[in-house]
Amino acid sequence: MSFDRVFPPASIPGRLLHWLLCSLVCRLGCNLAAKRRPPARLSRALSICLLSLLPLVAEAQSIRLLRDADIEHGLAELAQPVLQAAGLNPRRVRILVVDDSGFNAFVIDQRAIFVNYGLILKAETPEMLQAVLAHEAAHITNGHIGRRGQNARSASTAAGFGTALALLAAAAGGGEAAFGIAVGTQSSALRSFLSHTRAEEASADRSALAFLTRAGINPEGMVALHRIFAGQEVLGSAHQDPYMRSHPLTRDRIRAAEAYVASLGPGARPGSEPGAVNSPDAAYWLARVKGKLSAFTRAPSWSKRRLQSEGYADVKRMRAAIVHHRQNDLAGARREMQALLGARPQDAFYHELWGQILYENRRWSEAEAAFGRAAALAPNEPLILSGLGRAQLSSGRPGAALVTMEKARDLDFRNATLLRDMSLAYAQTKQSGMAALVTAERYALQGRLKDAGPHAQRATGLLPNGSPAWRRAQDVLIAFEQDEKRKKK
């Protein structure tokens, strides 16, 4: 598991950091809104430097994503039937975890659903978590995101410093532009912008309930989710859950969900037949996701006390191995992982976990072997490939590391940690131009265009004129120059 900071920490207070960020992106949004057809190169540059800022919609001063192949795979398994029922391609909509213990989830474009790890840990059944995913998917399919463009400008005007960031992101595999909105601030205007209207919430509820039913998932999960927040509408915003503030809940919505479930009747309601239980696969993946998340985010003593209550033998061993690892007990972690891999030798994600444990204990060769086995079992999993490349680099094989890392980057360009490792590998192989390029792209991904510019300028001077890498450097350089011009206005 790795922590990928969406916006870097600053030496100034978080609220001031957000004020500065919001002012910058607000001005950028206004400039883009004034142009009907931005230059193609500018579109590509914006896609590079801004896509990773999407999660700033969360109410955090400087948020991080929790990137873990196993957890993202488990969430994808839970989301697949819901997304298919919603008419969305599960391969194109990713479920990403935000490193925040609060209860919240949100969407800001058609490519990802963001879920706080706190919400996942609070989900008592897979149906509850799938209800959240269905609700957020409904905001995508019902077009609620696209209608926010005008609302963003209003929120900006009302607050004086809100934010509206228009993104021109190259569609995957093509040159056409797609439109999305990303925002990030703690102002009341932002909450107004992020918050769905009551009409949108009611519409998303109706669609979500239909998606769940169509997918064969008991819609009681939606009712259970609503009941968690029952009564919060009478609380002040400071005492409400973030999810409540951005997803206004009313008694009418609770009654509507209950009425929908009742209207299905016991015989027609998925999972309500006599003796029916939760989907075994869904229950397993929720337990595995929660088990790994809690093992890494809770205190080891907390996890240790709850090991005996874990119902899945492999998840229990995984949690025990992580506890030993976090307590600097490599021998204990090795014992648990050997037993785990003996029971599940074809599980790529458990091999990856073992690779992470070995890597963090500076066992480079062993880590490379573990990551290599994981990559052989899941050759197109970018986070596993990223880990293998890092282990190869630490083992003194930068050339092999670059081959692995380039494949990982092609599959997931939003991994800033991967770009950092690639810059080291390029430097060790005397490819200064490429080292400068990926450093520029990494800074751009983090929103640090002022830092990205000099590296992009250096890269353009070192790379062959007109080459694909040179054009990538030009994209970042153009974005940097446009940003500097905006600052002078």
Query: Per-residue confidence of the chain (489 residues) as pLDDT tens digits?
Result: 665 544 333 333 333 334 434 444 445 455 555 555 555 554 454 444 444 443 333 333 345 778 899 999 999 999 999 999 999 999 989 898 988 888 888 887 788 898 999 999 999 999 999 999 999 999 889 886 665 544 433 322 222 222 222 232 222 222 222 222 222 323 344 444 445 566 777 788 889 999 999 999 999 888 888 777 665 543 445 555 555 555 555 567 778 888 888 887 665 556 544 344 457 899 999 999 999 999 999 999 999 999 999 999 999 999 999 999 999 999 999 999 999 999 999 999 999 999 999 999 999 999 999 999 999 999 999 999 999 999 999 999 999 999 999 999 999 877 888 999 999 999 999 999 999 999 998 888 777 788 889 999 999 999 999 999 999 999 888 888 887 887 776
The CATH H-level (homologous superfamily) assignment of domain 280-488 is Tetratricopeptide repeat domain (1.25.40.10)
Q: Which two tokens stand for residue 208?
A: 């979500």
- Name, in order, each residue with C-beta under 8 angstroms of 254's C-beta and a sequence gap of 6 or more: 223, 226, 227, 230
DSSP state for residue 338 in the 8-state scheme: H
- Dihedral-angle region of residue 397 (phi above 0 means left; psi in -120 to 50 means alpha; beta otherwise): beta
Task: Give the tokens for residue 4.
Answer: 């990928």
In contact, 326 and 339? CB cutoff 8 Å:
no
Polymer length in residues for the chain: 489
Q: Return the structure tokens found at 443.
A: 């800074």
* Domain ranges, ordered by start, for the chain: 2-268, 280-488
* Widest pairwise Cα distance in the chain: 71
Position 102 scores a pLDDT of 81
pTM of the model: 0.75
Q: Count the Cβ atoms, other than its own, within 10 Å of residue 362.
A: 9
| Cβ-count burial 54-85 (b if 16+ within 10 Å, e if not) | bbbbbbbbbbbbbbbbbbbbbbbbbbbbbbeb
- 153, 189 Cβ separation under 8 angstroms: no
